[in-house]
Amino acid sequence: MSAAEERLAELEYMLPPPAPPVANYLPATRSGNVMWMAGVGPQLPDGSTITGKLGDGMTTEQGYEAARWCALNLLARMKAELGDLDRVSRVLKVVGMVNSAPDFDGQAEVVDGASDVFVAVFGERGRHSRSAPGMGALPRRCAVIVECVVEVAD
């Protein structure tokens, strides 16, 4: 078991099965040692998805949990692409898009759910730059969609 997977087990995080793309795109693309991960929603292990709009029926805490599941889905996809999460040498950039009511302004706190997972699993290698824009709507009514860019060790 890799160090990253041991850390996941310590945190009692379970990686869901990686979801296949829902349209005409690749789940990950790589050039050299940089891999761009397509955005993923907060899919749970049973295949259901956390849906809703932050500030209109969803709390910041519920959004944080949705973003946490996005990060776990990204980790599952990274493992499927790389075979071993320890090959992630650095999380470089995270973009968390938050399905937001017009007056909701807690996007940064919501996307912390994903950022906190990456830092908890990878330590300093998980610290990253980030954007957390609010969106009027997201595909399939997802509460949050997170994408990231990682550096990969060969």
CATH classification of the domain holding 144: 3.30.1330.40
Give me the pLDDT at residue 9, please: 95
Task: Report the distance separating Cα 85 and Cα 2, nearest Å.
Answer: 7
Q: Is residue 91 one of the residues assigned to a domain? A: yes
Number of Cβ atoms within 10 Å of the Cβ of 67: 31
43 found inside a domain: yes
- The pTM is what? 0.97
Separation between Cα atoms, residue 8 and residue 15, nearest integer Å: 8
Residue 18 lies in a domain: no
Mean pLDDT of 127-149: 97
In a domain, 123, yes or no: yes
**Local structure of 127: helix, strand or coil:** coil
pLDDT at 98: 98
Contact predicate 37/154, CB 8 Å: no
pLDDT tens-digit readout, 19-72: 888 899 999 999 999 999 999 999 999 999 999 999 999 999 999 999 999 999
> Which residue bears the tokens 């300093």?
124
How far is the CA of 29 from the CAs of 5, 16, 57, 64, 153, in angstroms?
23, 21, 35, 27, 15
Domain count, the chain: 1
Q: What is the pLDDT of residue 154?
A: 84
Which ranges of 11-106 would DSSP assign to H, the alpha helix?
A: 60-82
pLDDT tens track for 91-137: 999 999 999 999 999 999 999 999 999 999 999 999 999 999 999 99
